[in-house]
Amino acid sequence: MSGLNLDDFATLIERPDSAARRDAEARRARLGPGPGALGRLDELGEWLAAAQGTVPVKPVERPKALLFAGDHGIASLGVSGGPKGGAAELVRATLDGTSTVAILARRFGVGLRVIDMAVDCDPAELPEEVTRHRVRRGSGRIDTEDALSAEEAERAFRTGMALADEEADSGTDLVVLGDLSVGGTTAAGTLIGALCGTDASVVTGRGGFGIDDLAWMRKCAAIRDALRRARPVLGDQLALLAATGGADLAAMTGFLLQSAVRRTPVILDGVVSAACALVGQRVAFRAPDWWLAGQGSGDPAQTKALERMALNPLLDQGVTVGEGTGALLALPLVQAAAALAAELPERS
């Protein structure tokens, strides 16, 4: 695909500052309560020190939740329990402040940004600042056709990169990443199954809204057929996103990789963001060092992807709703780790 060389990310992405991590470990050994008493909060504080490149850790004061929205043609097969109004309904609820992620973001004082990449509605129905990055109206049905053209995939990926730069330049110090999609977990399961070399049944979950056994079987068959289309393009991650991803997933992947370039930490949400992260790992093996897994949703594909990236979820509340909700729930834990690492006094 012209003009975009994904191999560059492997060179551009560096690991978080190992010297700062060692300094944070040494500082922690001098603080009270004693080492190990705070469990994973110690590990989080040291991770933040390495990501920020500074000791003591700075507080996480300007987090932002970014939600990439899109409809997926595969949902027409009855593989999703999403709303009949599609992703547009999810977007409207978020903008109105009535969705789970909007309520939590308001409670936690977190900025919230919705990006329409492929919502299947008239763009005039949504605010221009939401729709201005839209690549197309709905992504293709991945069991029988490509989700995107090559040009659309590159455009979506570049949009994600540009948004990562915007957030870094504006001072965002941590991103909570989520999706507002209908059919997105089917695309995510396909990507994870393809990259992990597994059968469809291993990566077919019940989705963010829950589906019955018959719908699960339809979803499993859809992922099986999509996997056949994914395997020939496994060597080209942008082609893989075009074949069996979607505009929202391509943008999220570009966002994750460019955020790692810009040294912006990201908390992943559910299976969709995990799938994009797994594609990102295939592009640049150091990239997952910049990401945290917010919570385990119980989706088998998410579990497989996180294991492949050696990311251990911070929470295990079984939240399946998506929308960045699980990742946002983990944010106060990360902020608490930063505060303790910075403010605990040394033992006398």
Which pLDDT tens digit goes with each residue over 195-238? 999 999 999 998 877 888 999 999 999 999 999 999 999 999 99
323 counts as catalytic: yes
Residue that is written with structure tokens 């330049």 in the block: 169
Task: Using alpha carbons, list the distances in angstroms from residue 167 to 128, 144, 284, 287.
Answer: 19, 36, 21, 18
Choosing from 14, 152, 323, 343, the catalytic residue is 323
- Cα dist from 117 to 6, 8, 180, 246, 304, whole Å: 21, 24, 10, 9, 26
User: What's the predicted TM-score (pTM) here?
Assistant: 0.96
The CA distance from 316 to 296, in Å, is 5
Q: What is the pLDDT, as a whole number, of residue 85?
A: 82
Cis preceding-peptide flag for 33 (omega within 30 of 0) = yes
**Distance between CA 48 and CA 271 in Å, rounded?**
24
- The two tokens of residue 99 are 């969705």
Q: What is the pLDDT of residue 2?
A: 52
Q: What is the pLDDT of residue 1?
A: 40
**Cβ 46 vs Cβ 35: under 8 Å:** no
- Domains, the chain, in order of start with CATH, read 8-58+339-343 (1.10.1610), 63-334 (3.40.50.10210)
Regions of the chain short of the pLDDT cut 70: 1-2, 348
